Amino acid sequence: MYVTNAFFAYPAAPDSIGQTIEIAATNVRTRSNNTIFTWRHLDICGHYIAGQVLNKIEECELLIADITKLNFNVVYEVGYAIGKCKPILVVRNGSLNVEDISLGNLGIFDTLGYESYNNADDLTRLLMAAHDLSPISIPVGRNSRAPIYTIEPRFKTDFINRTISRVNKAGLHQRRFDPNEQSRLAAFDAIENVAESFGVVVPLLSQEVQDSRVHNIRAAFVAGLADGIGQLRLFLQEGDSPVPIDYRDITKSCYQLEQIDRYVADFAAEVTELFQSPVEAKTKAPENLLQSINLGSSIAENELRDLPGYYLETEEFQRVARGEARVVVGRKGAGKTALFYRVRDRVARNRNHVVLDLKPEGYQFRKLRDSVLLLLQEGSQEHLVTAFWEYLLLLEICNKLLEMDRERHLRDPVLSELYRQIEDHYGSDRYIAEGDFSDRLNQMAIEIAQRYMDTFGLQAGKSLSEGDVTNLLYRHDLAALKSILKQYLAHKDEVWMLIDNIDKGWPSNGIEPADILIIRTLLEATRKIEREFTRNDINAHTVVFLRNDVYDLLVEQTSDRGKETRIAVDWSDGDLLKELIRLRLVNSGVSEHLDASSAWRTICTPLVGGEETFQFLIDRCLMRPRALIDLINHCRSIAVNLRHEKIQEEDFVKGLVAFSNDLVTDINLEIRDVMPDAEDLLYHFIGGKKSISLNELNELLLREGRPPESISNLLHVLYWHGVLGLIWPIDGHVEYVYQIKHNMKLFEAHVEKLNTAGGVMLQVNPAFWAALGVQ
């Protein structure tokens, strides 16, 4: 199908791209006799042309974008065109090696799709060929519970942390893209999140920051979407880079962190005004059931609005909500954070419960750890950090009381005097009044580190006395603080301290003893608070959410093992995962009277390669809810983009390729977190067979340069992460460790027994086959 008005956007460098495009454009004009296909193109470097470009995109029937060399302008314009409901055709010159970003790692274009060409004749044929000119559908509806969408980089600089903190301080809940949680930005996830937002926050990184180029290209796409759809947006950049001069006017440049506060405050006021006003939908209704399906985000923080409608309340959830555990453990993607939010909502239904929902991140302790802890004797480390946690949590309880009873104390004479005492003594303290919890934690850690350096300098092996700890930590009389809290909490039913994310953002060179110390002292400090409150008839509960690999390290490095009551969030029953998806389908309009299999068949073909589709997906998701939702969303996005009414077999195959690439990246990073020397371990299986004997695997690892003494540990992490399963010789079925509730002792005992009996055969998990080219 030809168009009469197309617009071509391409980078100015290298010159060969422009030359090839000019030849192809001339060929098209000639062969169409200048009547069927007219052409407008633009060299997008060095001129103030943003307004002209966007006007032409709005006028054209089709945007053709060349992404051979990714740059801000072209990617922004692709996003803008999608937001304006313009059809797009993305092309890429496969003969040139000019791009330093992997499209698989970047995301966006691996699901949008692109056509490859090698020369002008190839490109001419592409442009003359018939193309589906249907625009990508933009979802309808706004997210009132989390109205802001923020795109974050992998490395959280002070600029990024300040931006996130100020949005939180403005009381605007965020949905966030975080590459530490999702390795790539899926185009359709970005489209849905931007479309349902009341405001979009796009911070752009200075070029000196690691991975800034990847982040800024993603940011350009989101920025273009926001402007195309017409959403309120805040584009912030550090200094004068990296936005090209063409688009400098749409960004706010920040030279000092304090400038962020003003920009966010102004933006928050606009969002709040919009939030409180009736807004007419700007987008058309879905054309079919598949387009209307919303399985939610695989990241719990991004689905707070919808989570109550489809959350699967398992026995583990019920036990945590009853206060039967102090620690919840599970693999990354197992649903710990979703459980965190649902437990919070459940216990907060009682308005006389005091509920802290705290999400510190490991990097916020970096200054304290690197400047102080490494200089102290072990006993002093434990003493200082336990006291730090206790003091911080008591102040957070003060903050919560001031927040939750701001109106109530005016009507309650019993609370009124106690409230005023807390407000007078602690309400204006910067450890309570400034920023959000992350801000306050970070500020306290930095100040303690600075006071330590001022007092003791770089003296190593320092032992701290009780007085030293008091001078370093406390800005208030601790005994008085505890006394007023106990008096106030006597009028409350229960105190809950829910703490998630503490093992997030730890250094890429692996988890260190100081990191485990931070968790161990947190548990000790909460236990200390619970004991003190209990002596005063105050019911207090703590729940700390941890990855189970981190918990295993904690147990190994703790002398008093078994002290903490633990609940594991694990999935070994495929029927539970089917029910999880059924609830999400029902929430999107599928009949609640259908069982899981029938509900599933309303949106997809029944078989993939002769295998039932749901089982096909379950066998490739490592039994992780997050992975299953991501995999289905990949397949659905491709089907919607191809205008399919149901997810077809070809959509499953293409979606699996994108998902598999994501999974390889994610699992490599998870392995690196606990075993830094094993980074990129999965790439050893590229091009190999799906089945491999234990002896062959040992030889492979040695050939790849792995030290002989590390082989046992490498096998352990491959088993633990579900990369390799054990093939049972009797019936040939494959057993992965997640199918036996991650009982590594049992799994490795099976391996040892079969190896003694005559040899072990292992299978690479089919989730990784597509990315690794496994035969």
Is the Cβ–Cβ distance between 588 and 629 less than 8 Å?
no
pLDDT for res 277: 72
Query: Is pLDDT at 199 greater than 60 in this prediction?
Result: yes
Backbone phi, then psi, for 700, in 5-degree steps? -60, -45
Cα separation, 458 vs 259, whole angstroms: 34
Per-residue pLDDT reduced to its tens digit, 138-155: 877 777 778 899 999 988
- Locate 649 and state its tokens: 């077999």
Query: For residues 710 and 701, what is the distance between their CA atoms, to the nearest angstrom?
Result: 9
pLDDT category, 275, cuts 50, 70, 90? confident
Structure tokens given for 313 = 């309340």
Per-residue model confidence as pLDDT tens digits over 121-142: 888 887 777 566 778 878 777 7
Question: Which two tokens mark 158?
Answer: 């002070």
Contact 175, 206 (CB under 8 A): no
Provide the pLDDT for residue 222.
95
Pinpoint the alpha helices (H) of 129-186: 158-169
C-alpha to C-alpha distance for 82 and 58, rounded to whole angstroms:
11
Mean pLDDT of the region 83-101: 84
Dist. CA 469–CA 458, nearest whole Å: 17
Q: Tell me how crowded residue 509 is: count the other CB atoms within 10 A of its CB.
A: 11
Residue 507 has pLDDT above 60, yes or no: no
Q: What is the pLDDT of residue 431?
A: 60
- pLDDT in the model for residue 134: 77
The burial class, CB within 10 Å (0-12 / 13-18 / 19+), for 576 is middle
Contact between 138 and 236 under an 8 Å Cβ cutoff? The reply is no
Q: CA dist 584 to 34, 43, 162, 581, Å?
A: 51, 46, 35, 5
Question: How is residue 621 written in tokens?
Answer: 């998701």
Residue 452 confidence (pLDDT) = 84
Position 35 scores a pLDDT of 34
pLDDT at residue 48, as a whole number:
43
pLDDT digits (tens, 9 = 90+) for 757-770: 778 999 999 999 99
Comparison of pLDDT for 8 and 635, the residue scoring more: 635
C-beta of residue 119 within 8 angstroms of C-beta of residue 174: no
Q: First-to-last CA distance in the chain?
A: 39
Decide if pLDDT at 342 tops 90.
Answer: yes
Which helix (H) or strand (E) segment is 329 a member of? strand 327-330
Answer whether residue 37 shows pLDDT above 70: no
Structure tokens at 613: 């589709």
Label residue 166 by pLDDT band (50, 70, 90): confident
At a CB cut-off of 8 Å and minimum separation 6, what does 11 contact? Answer: 17, 44, 45, 66, 68, 69, 70, 71, 73, 74
pLDDT recorded at residue 750: 93
pLDDT tens for residues 684-713?
Answer: 999 999 999 999 999 999 999 999 999 999
Candidate from 156-160, 230-234, 524-528 with smallest mean pLDDT: 156-160
Average pLDDT for 335-353: 94
CA nearest 481: which of 432, 543, 535? 432
Q: What is the DSSP string of 231-268?
A: -EEEEEEETT-SS-GGGGGGSEEESSHHHHHHHHHHHH
Q: What percent of the chain has pLDDT over 70?
A: 89
Can you tell me the distance from the alpha carbon of 682 to that of 590, in angstroms, rounded to the nearest whole number? 39
**What pLDDT is stored for residue 112 in this prediction?**
81
What average pLDDT does the segment 153-170 reach? Answer: 85
What is the identity of the amino acid at 161? N
Binning pLDDT at 50, 70 and 90, where does residue 36 land? very low
Residue 400 has pLDDT above 70, yes or no: yes
Mean pLDDT calculated for residue range 443-450: 83
pLDDT the model gives residue 426:
78
**Lowest-confidence segment of 24-38, 71-85, 325-339 by average pLDDT:** 24-38
Q: What's the confidence (pLDDT) of residue 284?
A: 54
Return the pLDDT at 113. 79
For residue 361, is pLDDT > 80?
no
Least confident of 194-198, 222-226, 360-364, 608-612: 360-364
Residue 653 pLDDT grade (very low, low, confident, very high; cuts 50, 70, 90): very high
Q: What is the arithmetic mean of pLDDT over 193-209?
A: 89
Considering the entire predicted model, what is its pTM? Answer: 0.81
Strands 39-43 and 62-66: unpaired
CA 152 to chain centre: 9
Q: What is the mean pLDDT of residues 259-286?
A: 76
Q: Is 494 exposed, middle or buried (0-12, 13-18, 19+ CB in 10 A)?
A: middle
In terms of Cα–Cα distance, which of 362, 645, 394 is closest to 530?
394
751 pLDDT more than 60: yes
Residue whose entry in the numeric block shows the structure tokens 């030290």 = 707
Question: Which of residues 49 and 572 earns the better pLDDT score?
Answer: 572
Q: What is the pLDDT, as a whole number, of residue 130?
A: 58
Residue the block writes with tokens 């180029």? 213
pLDDT in tens, 63-76: 888 888 888 888 99
Task: Give me the pLDDT at residue 536, please.
Answer: 93
Counting Cα atoms < 13 Å in the Cβ hemisphere of 566 gives 17
Q: How far apart are CA 649 and CA 604, in angstroms?
A: 9
pLDDT grade, residue 562 (50/70/90)? low
Picking from 186, 189, 200, the residue whose alpha carbon sits closest to that of residue 146 is: 200
**Residues 738, 331: Cα–Cα separation, whole Å:** 10
490 or 363, which is more confident? 490
Task: Report DSSP state, residue 717.
Answer: H
* HEC string for 459-510: CCCECCCHHHHHHHHCCCCHHHHHHHHHHHHCCCCEEEEEECCCCCCCCCCC
- Please give the pLDDT value at position 44: 46
Mean pLDDT of the chain: 84
Q: What pLDDT does 237 receive?
A: 87
**The pLDDT of residue 771:** 92
List pLDDT tens digits, range 468-502.
Answer: 888 888 888 889 999 999 999 999 999 999 999 88
- Cα torsion through 241, 247, 249, 253, rounded to 10: -20
**Distance separating alpha carbons of residues 566 and 563, to the nearest angstrom:** 9
Q: What is the DSSP letter of 420?
A: H
pLDDT at 38: 41
What span, in angstroms and rounded, lies between the C-alpha atoms of 604 and 264?
43
For tokens 């301080």, the residue is 169
